[in-house]
Amino acid sequence: MKTVVAGLSNGKHFGVSLAKKSGTGKLKYIFRKFPDGELHIKFGSQVKGRHVVLVQSLFPNPNDALVELFLAARTARGMGAKRVSAITPYLCYMRQDKVFSFGESFSAKEIAWLLSKCVDGLFAFEPHLHRIRSLSEIFSVEAKNLSARSAISDFVLKKFSRDNTVIVGPDRESSQWAKKIADAVGFDSTVLEKTRFGDRKVRVKVTTELDWKNKDVIIIDDIVSTGGTVVQAAKEIRKRKPRAVYCICVHPLLVEGALEKIMKAGVKEFFSCNTIEHKSNCIDLSGVVAKELK
């Protein structure tokens, strides 16, 4: 079965790189928005009997991005595609991973239900699995969590030296990246304690001290959204007089001027994976997906 890749509106950058790395054909895809906000999608070539791989990061504009993916998947199926897979490098709504208070939607589950209805399989990077332990708990089709850890480890090893670098996870949940990456590359690490008071307000405390003096410190987290977590972590770390503070994240949402706030808090450089297109993208994850398509 021949595989063809289509990069949807938020997936063009990743799709181009994926098609190159996997040696698959590119599917011509045309998208536009009507003046009233409705979406129009169209495939420019035949998909009958093919494995159609739709690449769509579900940020920015997660709601539009979801509808676009839904329309593209249903259209490919309607045109006779043999298999339709979604690559959602960033899978949205995953932080709403339980009913936190009465009457609330369990959005992660509902979005997984919708996607399971229109694709045969899905791949996502580091989809914020905290209270939900596996995508199979919420998806009824094959859904795979891909890891960014080895690509980040390679980047860290190229750019930083083991002798004078330490890695920090800004909260307990981040230890699945920060601690594991630090262990993989043999760097010292610590995980901070975070208390959240609202969408934009957090307090971060250092509970286990490291030898910070003259060290490069890398904060590693999965998502950077408002930047509040990284800003508070950077401020706490800088009180300990390291040489410089850096940040690496998997998903650079960076809303409400987050990057500017992070730089103002004294972070020297900010690096991200290309799950969401952004000027800070330095770590290409398309090779991880290419291996899965082989």
Helix axes 62-78, 107-118, angle to 10 degrees: 20
- Find out whether 28 and 50 touch, Cβ atoms under 8 Å: no
- Catalytic one of 2, 20, 98, 194: 194
- Six token digits for residue 236: 């706490």
CB of 163 to ligand R5P, least distance (A): 28
Burial letters for 110-148: b for 16+ Cβ neighbours within 10 Å, e otherwise? ebbeebbebbbbbbbbbbbbeebeebeebbebebbbbeb
229 in contact with ligand R5P (CB under 6 A)? yes
Asked if 175 touches ligand R5P (CB under 6 A), the answer is: no
Stretch that binds ligand R5P, among 2-10, 110-118, 181-189, 226-234 (CB under 6 A): 226-234
Of these, 17, 225, 275, 286, which contacts ligand R5P (CB under 6 A)? 225
Closer to ligand R5P by CB, 116 or 176: give it. Answer: 176
Q: Does 171 bind ligand R5P (CB under 6 A)?
A: yes
Chosen residue from 174, 189, 275, 286 binding ligand R5P by CB under 6 A: 174
Cα-based distances in Å from 207 to 165, 178, 204, 218: 19, 15, 9, 17
Q: Do residues 22 and 7 make contact, with C-beta atoms less than 8 angstroms apart? A: no
Known catalytic residue: 33?
no
Helix 149-159 × helix 286-293 angle, to 10°: 140
Among 68, 97, 216, 221, binds ligand R5P (CB under 6 A): 221
Residue of 89, 227, 242, 252 interacting with ligand R5P (CB under 6 A)? 227
Instruction: Give the active site residues.
Output: 194
Binding residues (CB under 6 A) for ligand R5P: these are: 171, 173-174, 202, 221-229
